[in-house]
C-alpha cells in the first residue's frame, strides 16, 4: 500500500480541482457537472475518514441520492444512509465511488460478482477525470 501521505497529496489535488476549476464554477456546480457527465442519480460511496465524509457531504449538496457502503450499518458514524455490503443490491446505485481508495478499493472488486454493472470509480478518477488504470497526469 502506498504511503498515507500520498493519499493526502491526491486529496489536495482533488480539492484544488473542485474549488479552483478551470470553468470558474462553484464547488457544488462543478460536482453537479461531473455527476451529470456520468448520468448518475444515485451514488454509493466507501469512505469513513474525515476527507471522505466531507467530500460526500459536498457531493450530497448536488442533489444526488447518496449512501455509504459499510461492512455493517453500525460501522460508521454520520448522517448518510448506510448499506452493509451484504445487503447491497445492484440497482441501488448508478455509480460506486471509492473516496477512501487506499483502504477501500480492494473490497470493491467483488461488486461485479454481486451484479453491479455501473462505473466503480476512485474519487481521483471521478474528479481528476482519469480513466481507470490510465495513469494520465492532469
Residue with cell 442519480: 41
3-state secondary structure of 132: coil
Q: How far apart are CA 17 and CA 94, in angstroms?
A: 23
Judge whether 43 and 68 are in contact, CB under 8 Å. no
Q: Which cell numbers hold the place of 39?
A: 448520468
Q: 73-85: b or e for each residue (b if 16 or more CB lie within 10 Å)?
A: eeebeeebebbeb
Sign of CA dihedral 42, 129, 79, 4: positive
Give me the sign of the Cα torsion angle 52, 44, 128, 59: negative
pTM equals 0.82
Grade residue 137 by pLDDT with cuts at 50, 70 and 90: very low
Tens-digit pLDDT profile for residues 76-109: 666 788 888 888 899 999 999 988 766 666 667 7
Query: CA separation (Å) from 2 to 10, 120, 138?
Result: 12, 20, 20
Radius of gyration, CA atoms only, the chain: 14
**44 φ/ψ angles, rounded to the nearest 5 degrees:** -100, 145
What confidence score (pLDDT) does residue 26 get? 96
Confidence of residue 6 (pLDDT cuts 50, 70, 90): confident
Amino acid at each position: 500500500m502506498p504511503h498515507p501521505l500520498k493519499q493526502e497529496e491526491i486529496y489536495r489535488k482533488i480539492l484544488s480541482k473542485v474549488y479552483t476549476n478551470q470553468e470558474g464554477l462553484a464547488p457544488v456546480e462543478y460536482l453537479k457537472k461531473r455527476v451529470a457527465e456520468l448520468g448518475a442519480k444515485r451514488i454509493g460511496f466507501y469512505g469513513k475518514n474525515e476527507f471522505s465524509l466531507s467530500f460526500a457531504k459536498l457531493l450530497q449538496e448536488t442533489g444526488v441520492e447518496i449512501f455509504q457502503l459499510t461492512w455493517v450499518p453500525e460501522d460508521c458514524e454520520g448522517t448518510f444512509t448506510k448499506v452493509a455490503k451484504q445487503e447491497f443490491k445492484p440497482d441501488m446505485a448508478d455509480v460506486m465511488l471509492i473516496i477512501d481508495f487506499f483502504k477501500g478499493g480492494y473490497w470493491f472488486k467483488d461488486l461485479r460478482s454481486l451484479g453491479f454493472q455501473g462505473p466503480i470509480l476512485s474519487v481521483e478518477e471521478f474528479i481528476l477525470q482519469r480513466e481507470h488504470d490510465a495513469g494520465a497526469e492532469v
